[in-house]
Structure 1
Amino acid sequence: MTSQELHQDAIVIDGLIIAKWNRELFEDMRRGGLTAANCTVSVWEGFQATVDNIVRSNALMAESSDLVRPVRTTADITRAKEEGKTGIIYGFQNAHAFEDQIGYVEIFKQLGVGVVQMCYNTQNLVGTGCYERDGGLSGFGHEIVAEMNRVGIMCDLSHVGEKTSTEVIEASQKPVCYSHCLPSGLKEHPRNKSDAELKFIADNGGFVGVTMFTPFLRAGIDATIDDYVEAIDYVMNLVGEDAIGIGTDFTQGHDQNFFEWLTHDKGYARRLTRFGKIINPEGIRTIGEFPNLTEALLRRGFSEPLVRKIMGENWVRVLKDVWGE
């Protein structure tokens, strides 16, 4: 089977896309053969603004129902594959939208939210992000984790501080994930995860999606798709071949204002970081180039069954564990 044939046949899941929502993006998802993706609908927004984002996203999906379909269950992922569409999983990069209301967790589950990151870079009511002194998971945070477990929303720890992450991993009765991260063993960065952190999440039944955001890759903005595969290989050697998948962090279509909003606390307060030039690795600059990743994994010497696991089968299994269906 050629790499193209394998890519067309495989379940291909991206654990994190925060691109600009429009039909052009959906067309590129189809070009890339994407079966499903966790698409961000909340970062700094509170409850009302997040609901508004979901309303707009629902309308956009309805207009492009020839290309995409909503995903509530893993059966929906299978259906998306059969229909030749891309399944859209709604995800948050911050639990801020829950505000101080535990009941909002179930409301958002009913609206289609399947993955929620506990904190985005800074402190919230749940715990601490990776750019602040880490106070750990709050009492309220423990209640939120328990409620997310109950209703079937996956806890994501990609931008979360180490202590808070550890306490979420220990508190959760369901698998949790780093939906999009890179190893600090290849490059030191506040967003990257140490070997010990990567092993700890995997040893506790968790999951790691590997990102290709070039500021966090060893070669930086000069990175190629093979540098990305190097990072995947590195992480897999720590967590094993069943606890690893893809989480690109595609920011396709966004302008500088969007990155300014992302990199300031709450979207407007103090500056947290500077990304510099935003460019994806050569060979996978756009979502439409996703087939090149299957080819690059095979070129690295990964077997066909292993490539299928990394590209999507592992994500499906762990999401079923969390969602229950």
Structure 2
Amino acid sequence: MSNLHQNALVFDGLIISNWDRSVFEDMRKGGLSGANCTVSVWEDFKGTVANIARMKRLIRDNGDLLALARNTADIEQAKQDGKTAIVLGFQNAHAFEDQLGYIEAFHDMGVRVVQLCYNTQNLIGTGCYERDGGLSGYGHEVVAEMNRVGIMIDLSHVGAKTSDEAIRASKKPVTYSHCLPAGLKKHPRNKSDTQLKFIADQGGFIGVTMFPPFLKRGIDATVEDYVQALDYVVNLVGEDCVGIGTDFTQGYGQAFFDWLTHDKGVHRRLTEFGVVQNPQGIRTIGEMPNLTAAMERARWPARKITKVMGRNWLRVFNEVWSV
């Protein structure tokens, strides 16, 4: 592990792994100071509360490795203590149901990032795999309430029209926490240059993923391909509003992806990912130092590496979470 990686505050904008001690040990091995960890996708309010309770239990049981983060100071503290700060996040606002008051309740529980939709339509708006009807009336109320309590709005799996309207409606920076540029590969989940520029121009933030189906070379990709994708976005919008959002799915098999990619209507398949294999050199969270090393090989200055590896995330979180 290079000195640069060791000293950097490393923050991953999206991990949806099979939470257990082996994953947390790998976070430590990778020098991860913090991560936005998914605790809800398709679960309703009750199921999500159960997931949060389980995650908090895991944080207590693995207190030598983890800390719960409710603010950026908690992430800084975790870095100092040699721990990983867990930020509770949702990949779907389904758990809000039709109750605006649940948003503050979840904030009280520690939730700090919520994606408005996951792939398809819900009460708030539309995902990226369906014809996009835009942000609903209730969706506008949700955006305002998330702004008020200090939960970051995520638009990674959200349709272009709903995203555009959410970016315009939000008084605080929003994010594509884990996306890739359509300029490198055409895919419903990838964002066009216009979309990437628009979110950045409005003060928003872009986390770049390395999820293989969305990468130019798919499962043949290497850590260098991931750095190339990061550079593409940096060259488009500048180095201040780009970070990493790996979308690690460590510890999960095919059954998980079948559940993840289901759609409304029993047994409807939304999309097929095929083989999911992360880029060579960064197959596991523990290999995170290889990413910094690849940035160094690509002649990135230390300033740019430190920003993209985590400092940028902290700055934008501070803006959103401070109420």
TM-score by length of 1: 0.98
Tell me which of 208, 211, 231 is aligned to 1:210.
Answer: 208
Check if 1:186 corresponds to 2:184: yes
Q: Tell me the alpha carbon deviations over residues 203-223 of structure 1, each in whole angstroms, 9 at most, x when there is no partner.
A: 000000000001100011000
SS of alignment partner, residue 44 of structure 1: coil
Deviations 1:129-163 (A, max 9, x none): 00000000000000000000000000000000000
Measured in 2, the distance between the counterparts of 1:146 and 1:298 equals 41
Partner residue of 1:67?
A: 65
1:223 alignment counterpart: 221
**2-structure distance, mates of 1:251, 1:167:** 30
* Preserved contact between residue 44 and residue 267 of structure 1 (Cα < 8 Å): no
Q: Match of 1:272? A: 270
Aligned to 1:12: 10
Give the 3 Å change call, closer, same or farther, for CA 228–267 of structure 1 in structure 2.
farther
| 8 A contact 1:149–1:173 mirrored in 2 | yes
d(CA) in 1 for partners of 2:88, 2:191: 24
Q: Tell me, what secondary structure is at the counterpart of 1:290?
A: helix
Deviation at 1:200, TM superposition (A): 0.3
Structure 2 counterpart SS, 1:69: strand
CA deviation after TM superposition for structure 1 residue 60, in Å: 1.0
Give the corresponding residue for 1:111.
Answer: 109
Hey, what's the Cα distance between the residues in 1 that align with 2:212 and 2:265? 22
Equivalent residue of 2:275, what SS?
A: coil
1:86 paired with 2:84, answer yes
Give the superposition deviation at 1:82. 0.6
Per-residue displacement from partner, 1:176-221 (whole Å, max 9, x unpaired)? 0000000000000000000000000000000000000011000110
Matched residue, 1:244: 242
1:114 is paired with a residue of what secondary structure? strand
Output the amino acid matched with 2:74.
D
Q: Give 3-state SS (helix, strand or coil) of 2:2's partner.
A: helix
- Superposed CA deviations along residues 223-261 of structure 1, whole A, max 9, x for unmatched, are 000000000000111111100000000000011110000
**Would the alpha carbon gap of residues 110 and 268 (structure 1) be closer, same or farther in structure 2, given more than 3 Å must change?**
farther
Q: Secondary structure at the match of 1:100?
A: coil
Cα distance in 2, alignment partners of residues 264 and 319 from structure 1: 31
Gaps spanning 5+ residues in structure 2: where? none
Structure 1 residues 39, 132: closer, same or farther in 2, change over 3 A? same
- Note the C-alpha offset of 1:268: 5.2
For 1:216 and 1:140, locate their aligned partners in 2 and report how far apart those are by CA, in whole Å. Answer: 31
Match 1:77 to one of 63, 75, 81:
75
Compute the displacement of 1:267 (Å): 9.3
| Residue 43 in structure 1 maps to residue 41 in structure 2 | yes
Q: Deviations over 1:255-286 (max 9, x none)?
A: 11100000111595411100000100000000
Aligned partners of 1:197, 1:316: CA distance in 2, in Å?
A: 22
Secondary structure of 1:90's partner? Answer: strand
Give the number of equivalent residue pairs. Answer: 323
Q: Which residue of 2 aligns with 1:160?
A: 158
CA distance 1:137–1:269, shift in 2 (3 Å): farther
Q: Which letter does structure 1 place at the counterpart of 2:41?
A: V
| Residue 301 (structure 2) pairs with residue 303 (structure 1) | yes
Contact 1:44 1:266 in 2 (8 A): no
Which residue does 2:167 correspond to in 1? 169
- How big is the shift at 1:301? 1.2
1:56 and 2:63 correspond: no
Counterpart CA distance in 1 for 2:19 and 2:139 is 30
Alignment match, 1:286? 284
Are the aligned partners of 1:261 and 1:268 in contact in 2 as well (CA < 8 Å)? no
User: In structure 1, what residue type is equivalent to 2:138?
Assistant: F
Secondary structure at the residue paired with 1:170? helix
1:125 aligns with 2:108: no
Aligned to 1:26: 24
TM-score under structure 2 length normalisation: 0.99
Deviant stretches of 4+, over 2 Å: 266-269
Structure 2 residue aligned with 1:316? 314
Query: CA 1:43–1:266 in 2, change beyond 3 Å: closer, same or farther?
Result: farther
Among all aligned residue pairs of Structure 1 and Structure 2, give the percentage whose two residues are the same amino acid.
67
